[in-house]
Amino acid sequence: MSEFLDLGIEDKMIDAQTSDDYYTPPFIFEALGVEFDLDVSSPPDGIPWLPAKRFYTIIDDGLVSPWEGRVWMNPPYSDVTPWANKFRKHNNGIALVQISKARWFDEMWQWADALCVLPSNLKFISGQGKTAGIFMPAILCAMGNENVEILKASGLGIVR
């Protein structure tokens, strides 16, 4: 899997506080092998490699718009708490969040149906198309039995 962590695009390390525009790399979706009904936090034109039927942008405001079906959530890391709370209430989807010393993360650790810690050298895709690491590890969280099975079958790591 390490060959998928470096996409051959200019690498740089970012500070998560500089921007929320860092997108999930394609290999995550290839490994999950599922189409989502909704990406709840997407850039304006969507992400071409993200397999979702629909997406919400900042204009749609995924925090106030209704969530339906299996959701994908890679929320703005500058304010994860409201996204984590809505994800928990929705109870159907897979989220990519940073491991954080925060109350929302403590709660997610307790109530998520499954968790999978991703490699510490995970590279995201910046809004400029470059790869970029973040200064904290990331984790996939699954809610709902089908999503737990998808996460287990993905081969992305150990699922608890």
Q: What is the pLDDT of residues 94-147, one digit of tens each?
A: 999 999 999 999 999 999 999 999 998 899 998 888 898 878 899 999 999 999
Residue 27, C-beta contacts closer than 8 angstroms, at least 6 positions apart:
1, 4, 5
**Cβ-count burial of 113 within 10 angstroms (0-12 exposed, 13-18 middle, 19+ buried)?**
middle
Q: What is the pLDDT of residues 5-49, one digit of tens each?
A: 444 333 333 333 346 678 999 999 999 999 999 999 999 889 999
With beta carbons less than 8 A apart as the criterion, state whether 24 and 46 touch. no
Q: How far apart are CA 115 and CA 102, in angstroms?
A: 17
CATH architecture of 2-153: 3-Layer(aba) Sandwich (3.40)
- For residue 118, what is the DSSP state? P
Q: How far apart are CA 90 and CA 41, in angstroms?
A: 14
Give the SS3 label for residue 65: coil
Q: What is the pLDDT of residues 52-76, one digit of tens each?
A: 999 999 999 999 999 999 999 999 9
Q: How far apart are CA 1 and CA 124, in angstroms?
A: 15
Q: How far apart are CA 118 and CA 99, in angstroms?
A: 10
